[in-house]
């Protein structure tokens, strides 16, 4: 099937793009040929904004109270926030090694595929495409819409249809921006990341001024009443670590990073301390202004904070939450579209999703598919419930990726690794990931089992569409795939991409 599509490419695309130039790692000077693949347009600054923008979502504005609820004291909660940052740094460092060793986009999907083969990688992709990515994007867009219209409906809930339409418009606008040019998407990301950081700096500055004015009564006995039992501390740490999720965003676009061996680990090394310090100082500011009952009773902590200290300028906070959601949604769309793009290129999704525009070098079919799934999930009334089914899956797949790092160290000890950690880091993070998988299984068993069942629903799909040799698969699948790919090529002026990796580094079990 792939060969037929490659043969079709010269008829759908200009001949000048059919020939490939030498490998990108050592480009020949003066060559005029262009290889059809994603261009390396993401700079170090863009990478930092992608990571920071995805990690700092609406959570730090809306509901940072989970850690405080379980730790039961300001002092212990800050310690747990700091521990969460340290554990996340361990995971991010492991991904810095993985991203510079396995130079494919796709993050955990690509790493699981390389280390453990096709089946586990497909299940990871199946859960993302069926539920996790579209549901999370629908939720972020709805949060954006709610905060955007909050000022118009101060005493009641905004109209259901209005919120859904604004959320749909938000998704459509970002899909268009990212289809147009990669640089447009990174420009939006940079702008909204700077905006959300400025908003948090405003909150932090107010907290520092309150402390300098001597308003420290909430910190007189910071550890009084701390919940020191292992169950409460575990749940508090789980809440903190979940707030730090998103540090793997840049690994989804590895093939588009300029000088990835330098910029990928450097972006991670710069982003993680920034987010950790911002989280700690923002919580200190909340704790200085709000007492514990007020903080725990609030549905939107930053809004309560703003109402108490900003007076007539309290509208800044809801707008800041909306803009933070917009930036987070943009980062999620960039990452998810690359995941689907790489999955299609590996033969796990229809070939049409592995096409990119001939001149813009954007994965238009994957972006449109991602947007369509998000719009479909906006039609689900209780979409917030769906994400509970996969509260553990993020940590499961990240943990599997880090186990893959250890496995590849053992099976391929001589492989080129620009970043090479001591094995202590991946071992500690694997144990941490195991804890993060067990906590929701224990605390929310029914929803977690439903999530596992949905993931396992991909097994028959894998058997019919990937595991079976092509001649034994149902004939209509191949014909439908070929027809959809040809139609997509002609409609969107797209071509199949060429891998920017050496052939011997590709996983051997692509379709078995």
Smallest CA-to-CA distance from 93 within 276, 274, 265 is with 265
Torsional sign, CA 408, 240, 436, 451: negative
Distance (Å, whole) CA 110 – CA 97: 13
Task: Convert the pLDDT of each residue in 51-88 to its tens digit.
Answer: 999 998 877 887 688 888 888 889 999 999 999 999 99
Torsional sign, CA 317, 320, 326, 330: negative
Q: What is the pLDDT of residue 314?
A: 85
Task: Convert the pLDDT of each residue in 297-320 to its tens digit.
Answer: 887 888 889 888 988 888 888 888
Of residues 402 and 26, more confidence is placed in 402
Of residues 448 and 252, more confidence is placed in 252
Q: What is the secondary structure of 273-320 as a DSSP string?
A: HHHHHHHHHHHHHHHHHS-HHHHHH-SSHHHHHHHHHTGGGTTHHHHH
Q: What is the pLDDT of residue 123?
A: 94
Can you tell me the mean pLDDT for 394-419? 92
Provide the pLDDT confidence category of residue 296 given band limits of 50, 70 and 90. confident
Q: What is the pLDDT of residue 282?
A: 93
pLDDT tops 70 at residue 141: yes
Smallest CA-to-CA distance from 345 within 42, 130, 38 is with 38
Can you tell me the mean pLDDT for 349-364? 92
Provide the pLDDT confidence category of residue 506 given band limits of 50, 70 and 90. very low
Contact 189, 334 (CB under 8 A): yes
Q: What is the pLDDT of residue 78?
A: 93
CA atoms within 13 A on the CB side of 155: 0
pLDDT tops 90 at residue 229: no
Radius of gyration of the chain (CA): 23
pLDDT tops 90 at residue 426: yes
Residue that is written with structure tokens 């948090």 in the block: 200
pLDDT tops 60 at residue 23: no
Burial class of residue 29, CB neighbours in 10 A (0-12, 13-18, 19+): exposed
Contact 314, 321 (CB under 8 A): no
């Amino acid at each position: 099937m792939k060969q037929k599509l490659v043969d079709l490419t010269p008829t759908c695309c200009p001949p000048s793009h059919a020939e490939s130039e030498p490998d990108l790692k050592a480009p020949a000077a003066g060559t005029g040929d262009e290889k059809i693949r994603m261009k390396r347009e993401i700079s170090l600054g863009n990478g930092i904004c992608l990571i920071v923008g995805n990690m700092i979502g609406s959570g730090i504005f809306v509901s940072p109270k989970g850690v405080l609820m379980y730790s039961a004291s300001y002092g212990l909660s800050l310690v747990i926030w700091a521990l969460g940052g340290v554990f996340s740094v361990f995971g991010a460092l492991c991904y810095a090694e993985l991203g510079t060793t396995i130079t494919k986009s796709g993050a955990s999907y690509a790493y699981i595929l390389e280390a453990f083969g096709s089946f586990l990688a497909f299940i990871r992709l199946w859960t993302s495409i069926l539920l996790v990515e579209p549901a999370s994007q629908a939720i972020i867009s709805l949060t954006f819409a709610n905060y955007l219209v909050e000022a118009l409906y101060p005493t009641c809930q905004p109209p259901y249809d209005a919120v859904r339409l604004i959320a749909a418009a938000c998704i459509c606008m970002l899909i268009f921006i990212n289809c147009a040019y990669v640089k447009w998407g990174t420009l939006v990301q940079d702008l909204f990341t700077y905006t959300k950081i400025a908003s948090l700096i405003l909150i932090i500055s107010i907290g520092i001024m309150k402390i300098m004015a001597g308003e420290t009564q909430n910190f007189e006995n910071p550890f009084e009443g701390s919940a020191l039992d292992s169950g409460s501390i575990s749940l508090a740490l789980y809440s903190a670590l979940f707030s730090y999720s998103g540090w793997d965003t840049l690994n989804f676009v590895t093939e588009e990073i300029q000088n990835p061996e330098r910029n990928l680990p450097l972006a991670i090394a710069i982003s993680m301390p920034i987010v950790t310090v911002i989280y700690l100082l923002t919580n200190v500011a909340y704790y200085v202004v709000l007492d514990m009952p007020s903080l725990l009773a609030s549905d939107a902590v930053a809004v309560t904070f703003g109402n108490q200290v900003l007076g007539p300028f309290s509208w800044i906070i809801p707008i800041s939450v909306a803009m933070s959601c917009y930036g987070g949604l943009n980062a999620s769309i960039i990452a998810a579209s690359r995941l689907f793009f790489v999955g299609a290129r590996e033969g796990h999704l229809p070939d049409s999703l592995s096409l990119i525009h001939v001149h813009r070098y954007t994965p238009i079919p994957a972006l449109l598919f991602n947007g369509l799934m998000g719009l479909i999930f906006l039609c689900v009334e209780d979409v917030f419930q769906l994400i509970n089914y996969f509260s553990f899956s993020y940590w499961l797949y990240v943990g599997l990726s880090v186990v893959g790092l250890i496995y590849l160290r053992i099976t391929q000890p001589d492989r080129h690794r620009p970043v090479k950690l001591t094995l202590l880091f991946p071992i500690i993070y694997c144990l941490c990931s195991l804890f993060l998988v067990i906590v929701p299984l224990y605390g929310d068993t029914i929803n977690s089992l439903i999530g596992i069942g949905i993931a396992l629903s991909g097994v028959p799909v894998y058997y019919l569409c990937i595991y079976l040799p092509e001649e034994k698969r149902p004939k209509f699948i191949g014909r439908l795939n070929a027809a959809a790919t040809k139609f997509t090529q002609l409609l969107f002026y797209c071509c199949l991409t060429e891998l920017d990796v050496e052939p011997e580094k590709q996983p051997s079990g692509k379709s078995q």
